[in-house]
Structures are given as C-alpha cells and as structure tokens.
Amino acid sequence: MPKSRARSKAVYTPPTRQSKSKVSPRWLVPTMLACLLVGLAWIALYYITGGSLPIAALQAWNLVVGFVLIIAGVALSTKWR
C-alpha cells in the first residue's frame, strides 16, 4: 500500500486583531443628526405651509432638498462606529 505524503502547505493562521478599535470623528454624529432632522423639518415645513416655505421659488424642488439632506444623514450613519 502506498505511503501518504506529508502536507506541503502551511496551516492557515488568521491575522491578529488590532488592539485599538476604530473611533468615529467627533463631528460625525452631530452632523448626521442635524442632516436627518433638518431634512425632516424641511419636508414637513413644505407640506404644512402649502409650499410657501422654506423657499417658495423652489416649488416642488423643496422635496428634493429635504430628501438629499436625509440621504446625507443616512450616508453619514454608515460611517459611525
């Protein structure tokens, strides 16, 4: 019966963990919350005032401004650690 050969590759060893955990910048959470709340307030104000506020010249584009602020807040929330 043939003899089995020894393993030629080394056994996998996972990389060591970094001892220091990553920390978010101090400005991230306040900016994220501000974007979310201002976007929500912008859209709510547009609907409550019937389109005369926040900026009447933008008309329905006020919704786009509000949603862009909310999307920016959500994008910032993905960076929060």
Regarding pTM above 0.85, the answer is: no
pLDDT tens, position by position, 52-67: 999 999 999 999 999 9
Cα separation of the two ends of the chain: 58
Give the model's confidence band at 9: pLDDT under 50 very low, under 70 low, under 90 confident, else very high. confident
CB count within 10 Å of CB 80 equals 10
Q: Are 74 and 33 in contact (CB under 8 A)?
A: no
**Residue type for 2, please?**
P
